[in-house]
Structure 1
Amino acid sequence: MTFPATAWGLEGFGPWSLVAVRCVLAALVAGGCLLFLRVPLPERRHLPGLAVVAAGVVLGFPMLTTLALRTSTTAHAAVVVGLLPLTTAALSALRMGSRPSRRFWAAALAGAAAVVAFTVVQSAGALTAADGFLFAALLVCAAGYTEGGRLARVVPGWQVIAWALVLCLPLSVPAAAVALAREPVHLTAHGVVGVLWVALGSQFLGLVVWYRGMAAIGIPRASQLQLAQPLLTLVWSALLLGEHFTAAAPVTAVAVLVCIAVTQRS
């Protein structure tokens, strides 16, 4: 529901305000949990990894996808981001030093080709700025997922995202103040629900269980659980936003699922 909630949030907030406010709200909840449980400060050796998580999933992915959703439908964005599980699996293989099989890479290329073909067709033969934001979001989010999954093996998963959010406060608080002063805010029911969902659900609680799961079953295998995300986003965008997507969207989403399922079996 992240993309539909982001679309709702954009009804009441500007893109910069929405991202900054979601980061601050999530960090306040995360910081409160850390203080209540008296969690000690993270070890210095974990700080570089936490910085990657913060740059990827706290700042980079929300900002890039929010900018994309100003001009892209959630259905279109969902199919492009359907490449995220594959990107995460590939980066984790490189980061952890594993050697995927040739069948893995063949399926990876097929999935990438399906996504690129979809975006080009939907964009009348050319990639748009929104597609550029989405592809960049894939890379930074996959890096954040990979590093967070690695850290979650030695640090409780919820603390990984909690500390990443808290580390961003020196940036997110001033950013929120500036953005709210410069961008108009129209408090609507959709806008409030959207920002609360992406802050508490997507930005914090969702990643709490996500990193714990990656630590339990491994990054490549866990990343494949996101295979359902594009199809679920299409359903939620139709139910909540009334979007009408062409047949190419679900067909491409299913094609990507098949390709990544092959990588999982490989």
Structure 2
Amino acid sequence: MERASKLSDSAMENTTRGWINGFIGVLIFSGSLPATRVAVLAFDPVFLTVARASIAGVLALCVLLLFKERRPARHQLLPLLVVALGVVAGFPLLTALALQYVTSAHSIVFLGMLPLATAVFAVMRGGERPRPAFWCFSVLGSLLVVGFAIRQGLTASPQGDILMLLAILACGLGYAEGAKLSRTLGGWQVISWALVLSLPVMVPLAWLLMPLSFSQVSTPAWLGLAYVSLFSMLIGFVFWYRGLAQGGIAAVGQLQLLQPFFGLALAATVLHEQVSMGMLGVTVAVILCVVGARKCAK
């Protein structure tokens, strides 16, 4: 009995740490779209994508060499490639392209669909089996987001909305695959090796696509590039993958429902973008869904 109690307490403590790490990751990721929005005003979206991956990849390589981390096993290379395609290339590129058509405030609302996408891929790739009630809350949160987007008028910018939907799918797959792999490879090691694997492609592309002159690039754009390179591409994933591995991919993934709230606050305060009552209403509604999903995750 005593041993079972200790194991239960240990599991609960591990789950709590997972939610804390996941929450920190969400806070960091909340600044990604506003920072991208600022950067894409001065940088070409494709160059921005390969530049941020190159900068983060070089930093990751230095850290891996510093700590003398062992190389991934052969069977881990394919999952790492999936992570790289999903979160190193896919999500950053698709969101950068989308932000040419929509504001960061509008794109942030689409992030409410990310927990559902992550949960679906957690079942497909991670072998998790949440209870039916969990899916009700997760689907409800996503429907609220989609309904809001339709009410705003998808015809206003179908390109931007389609690109955001594709970005969500790519990100959800990358999150689930990376979290599964981090159970054996380690959280920060997963994103670091994924970034390093992408370097042979990203660095040459960054060199080829580099602007002829940076004289017209504003300070905010440089800060945006720095943020998405260091925090969005590297530091945020250290906490996020660790949290997903500790607390469960589908369960902790619901914390992403909080991301629109923080993102909208940043869009309003930093970018001075208009945040309507409808946006706030949808955000509050999806935040409430995370409470129900959390209780029904297992």
Give 2:90's aligned residue.
60
Give 1:264's aligned residue.
294
Question: Is the contact between residue 82 and residue 256 of structure 1 (CA under 8 Å) also seen in structure 2?
Answer: yes
Give 2:266's aligned residue.
236
1:164 aligns with 2:194: yes
Which of 221, 225, 230 in structure 1 is aligned with 2:251? 221
Question: Is the contact between residue 101 and residue 157 of structure 2 (CA under 8 Å) also seen in structure 1?
Answer: no
Give 1:122's aligned residue.
152
Give 1:3's aligned residue.
33
Q: What percent identity do the matched residue pairs reach?
A: 39
How far apart are the structure 2 equivalents of 1:185 and 1:124?
A: 36
How far apart are the structure 1 equivalents of 2:114 and 2:77?
A: 24
Deviation (angstroms), 1:185: 7.0
How far apart are the structure 2 equivalents of 1:185 and 1:81?
A: 34
Which of 195, 203, 207 in structure 2 is aligned with 1:173? 203
For structure 2, the residue ranges without an aligned partner over 5 or more in a row are: 1-30
How far apart are the structure 2 equivalents of 1:116 and 1:239?
A: 25
Count of aligned pairs between the two proteins: 266
Give 1:149's aligned residue.
179
Amino acid at match of 1:161: I
How far apart are the structure 1 equivalents of 2:268 and 2:215?
A: 26
How far apart are the structure 1 equivalents of 2:211 and 2:87?
A: 25
Question: Is the contact between residue 105 and residue 264 of structure 2 (CA under 8 Å) also seen in structure 1?
Answer: yes
Q: TM-score, normalised by structure 2?
A: 0.84
Amino acid at match of 1:45: H
For structure 1, the residue ranges without an aligned partner over 5 or more in a row are: none
Question: Is the contact between residue 12 and residue 190 of structure 1 (CA under 8 Å) also seen in structure 2?
Answer: no
Give 1:210's aligned residue.
240
Give 2:142's aligned residue.
112
Q: TM-score, normalised by structure 1?
A: 0.94
Runs of 4+ in structure 1 off by over 4 angstroms are 124-127, 181-185
Task: Please list the CA deviations of residues 104-156 of structure 1 after superposition, one character each: whole Å capped at 9, or x if unmatched.
Answer: 33333322321221111212667611111111111111111101101111112
RMSD: 1.9
Secondary structure class of the residue paired with 1:83: helix
Question: Is the contact between residue 156 and residue 212 of structure 1 (CA under 8 Å) also seen in structure 2?
Answer: yes
Task: Please list the CA deviations of residues 128-187 of structure 1 after superposition, one character each: whole Å capped at 9, or x if unmatched.
Answer: 111111111111111111011011111121110000001001111122122224898732
Amino acid at match of 2:70: P
Distance 1:185 1:168, change over 3 A: farther
Deviation (angstroms), 1:57: 0.6
Which of 210, 218, 236 in structure 2 is aligned with 1:188? 218
How far apart are the structure 1 equivalents of 2:213 and 2:86?
A: 24
1:91 aligns with 2:129: no
Amino acid at match of 1:75: A
